[in-house]
Amino acid sequence: MSHPLRVAIAGLGTVGTGVVRLIETNRDMIAARAGRPVEIVAVTARDRSRQRPVDLDRYAWADDTLALAARPDVDVVVELIGGADGAALDLARAALTQGKGLVTANKAMVAHHGLDLAETAAASGAPFAFEAAVAGGIPVVKGLREGTAANALTRIYGILNGTSNFVLSEMERTGAEFGAMLAEAQAKGFAEADPSFDIDGVDAAHKLAILAAIGFGTRIDFAAVRTEGIARVRASDIAQADTLGYVVRLVGVAALEPAADSTSRLLQRVRPCLVPFRHPLAAVTGATNAVVAEGDFSGRLLFQGAGAGDRPTASAVVADLIEIARGQCGAPFSVPVSALAACPPADPGDRIGRDYIRFTVADRPGVLAEITAAMRDADVSIESLIQRGRAAEGEAVQVAMVTHEGPERCVAMALELLRDTPSLTEAPLVMPILSD
């Protein structure tokens, strides 16, 4: 067996200690599969004195994070510090510039700086891999880079944030409201103290932008991802969706859409959606993630598993290390970064689809007529409409509808027509219906 792959780990939180534990636990198996041992030589973290569930004494401790990347006895740096910029980015750049491999679980950094880092990697010939940055333990980066490599992909979509999915599926299971289920997620450790990146869809948007680049061969365009979180979804929306044959899921969708000039446009959105009961994503509950890739030859492929957690994420980090040890780590975005196409964002108004729209209305005569007139004037055709009387005096009344298939710009126009009416007591909630 040849020389070991020598690894430095920066960041020793749950994922970092998970990686240490995994490399120690499955040492022989990893060596057999990688063709050579994978050995940790040095580690670092902000606070050396912190109690950790693994023994780090056998590894060199680096006080200076950047010094890790300069060590002559290190082949690959594993960056688990987190954050799009700052120490993580400095380390990533330093490692790649010096020809060290870089493995990271940092979706924010890859979404913001992945192209720059890939260019640096290409220039120095260093491997750069980030399986763990997307959907935790699910090997979907490899799935797109290798499994679907023969296909023109038309759409990539999925459940990319475990916290949001836990909250939505618990709302569905218990009938409770968002706030209570978010609190439960926090109590169970599924949600951060500040859960805004999860709940607002930003975390899912990071992952979606990365998947779109790999799957479509386009330059990462995180800024173009239109993102809407789950905080406005109510128990009554979920109940309504259920009677119509749907569940509510936070779905990231990336699609390459033909434009009039025969070029393509890239649609990237993260939104709560109505998912038909029979669709595989409807069965995805709890903190699980799932990604669907639709290829012109493969058809619909589904990759599902744990989207977060120390052990699944460590599994993805070490899979990258094994790939590097094997010498099989190719272009991080499947094609050389210089070959990625700059693809303009699609106008979501062009999208043809069906929507669920929930209005919260004042309980007075003529409201329904006003809403339906606006729909008519904007050319929105209504498939079904449900108005439920309020349960108690003073409670808001809800009107929910599902539209027939049509361009989204018509729905937007209808809502614009209703924007200033005193009949609506709050902004309507629009959730697209996931098409097959």
Would you name the residues annotated as active-site residues? 207
Query: In whole angstroms, how close is the CB of 322 to a second copy at the nearest point?
Result: 5
Beta-bridge partner residues of 301: 293
Query: In whole angstroms, how close is the CB of 309 to a second copy at the nearest point?
Result: 8
Rule CB under 8 A: which residues touch a second copy? 18, 22, 25-26, 29-30, 32-35, 131, 137-139, 142-143, 146-152, 217, 278, 280, 283, 290, 295-306, 309, 311-312, 314-319, 321-323, 326, 328, 330-331, 334-335, 339
Nearer to a second copy, 319 or 378 (CB): 319
Coil vs helix vs strand at 398: strand
Query: In whole angstroms, how close is the CB of 354 to a second copy at the nearest point?
Result: 22
Task: Beginning with the edge strand found earlier in the chain, give each strand of the sheet holding 60-61 in spatial order.
Answer: 60-61, 38-44, 5-10, 76-79, 101-104, 128-129
Residue type at position 70: A
Nearer to a second copy, 15 or 346 (CB): 15
DSSP secondary structure letter of residue 234: -
Nearer to a second copy, 24 or 377 (CB): 24
Output phi, psi for 47, to 5 deg.
-120, 110
Burial 346-373 (b: 16+ CB within 10 A, else e): bebeebebbbbbbbbbeeeeebeebbbe
Nearer to a second copy, 69 or 322 (CB): 322
Query: In whole angstroms, how close is the CB of 433 to a second copy at the nearest point?
Result: 19
Nearer to a second copy, 71 or 142 (CB): 142
Query: In whole angstroms, how close is the CB of 282 to a second copy at the nearest point?
Result: 8
- Residue 162 CA to residue 308 CA, distance in Å, equals 7
Coil vs helix vs strand at 344: coil
Query: In whole angstroms, how close is the CB of 316 to a second copy at the nearest point?
Result: 8
Nearer to a second copy, 139 or 229 (CB): 139
CA–centroid distance for 20 within its chain: 25
Nearer to a second copy, 103 or 433 (CB): 103
Of 23, 115, 159, the C-alpha closest to 78 is: 23
Strands (E), 212-335: 226-227, 246-258, 264-276, 288-295, 299-306
Query: In whole angstroms, how close is the CB of 19 to a second copy at the nearest point?
Result: 9
Encoding tokens for residue 236? Answer: 């009554």
Nearer to a second copy, 151 or 186 (CB): 151
Query: In whole angstroms, how close is the CB of 107 to a second copy at the nearest point?
Result: 18
Contacts within 8 Å (CB) and 24+ apart, 297-304? 297/150, 297/151, 298/147, 298/148, 298/150, 298/151, 301/143, 301/147, 301/148, 303/135, 303/138, 303/139, 303/140, 303/143, 304/138, 304/280
Look at strands 38-44 and 5-10 and give their pairing: parallel
Encoding tokens for residue 33? Answer: 């599969």
DSSP 62-80: -SSHHHHHH-TT-SEEEE-
- Residue 400 CA to residue 281 CA, distance in Å, equals 23
| Residue 194: Cβ-neighbour burial (10 angstroms; 0-12, 13-18, 19+) | exposed
